């Protein structure tokens, strides 16, 4: 699954560690999700969408 998390994060001036803290996950998790190596669960995807104030489908797209 592709996503725009890296773009959205850098637009806000956040580091991976900042986003990880907001999501209460490890920085490795954020890195793996950004690189498309790990697909987050639905609850985590909802948390990401809430933090960026966007819909899930505006952040994640099918390959």
Partner 1 sequence: MIRLSARSWRIIAALGFWVLIIAAWTVGGSTGLAIAYAAGAWLAAFSLQAWRRQDEFEKSAQKFSWMFGGLFGLLISLALLPAATQPGVISPLIGWVADALGSPDPVTPAFVLGAIYIALGQLVGFSVCWVGWHISKR
Nearer to partner 1, 13 or 41 (CB): 41
What distance lies between CA 41 and its chain's CA centroid?
A: 11
State yes or no: residue 37 binds partner 1 (CB under 8 A): yes
Contact 60, 3 (CB under 8 A): yes
- Give me 59's structure tokens: 């952040």
- Ramachandran assignment for 34, one of left (phi > 0), alpha (psi -120 to 50 degrees), beta (any other): alpha
Query: Which of 22, 44, 51, 56 lies at the binding interface for partner 1 (CB under 8 A)?
Result: 44
Nearer to partner 1, 24 or 63 (CB): 24
Interface residues toward partner 1, by CB under 8 A: 24-26, 28-29, 31-33, 35, 37-38, 40-41, 44
């Amino acid at each position: 699954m592709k996503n725009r998390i890296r773009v959205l994060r850098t637009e806000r001036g956040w580091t991976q560690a900042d986003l990880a803290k907001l999501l209460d996950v490890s920085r490795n998790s954020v890195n793996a999700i950004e690189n498309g190596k790990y697909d987050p669960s639905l609850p985590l995807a909802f948390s990401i969408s809430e933090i960026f104030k966007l819909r899930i489908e505006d952040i994640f797209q099918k390959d």
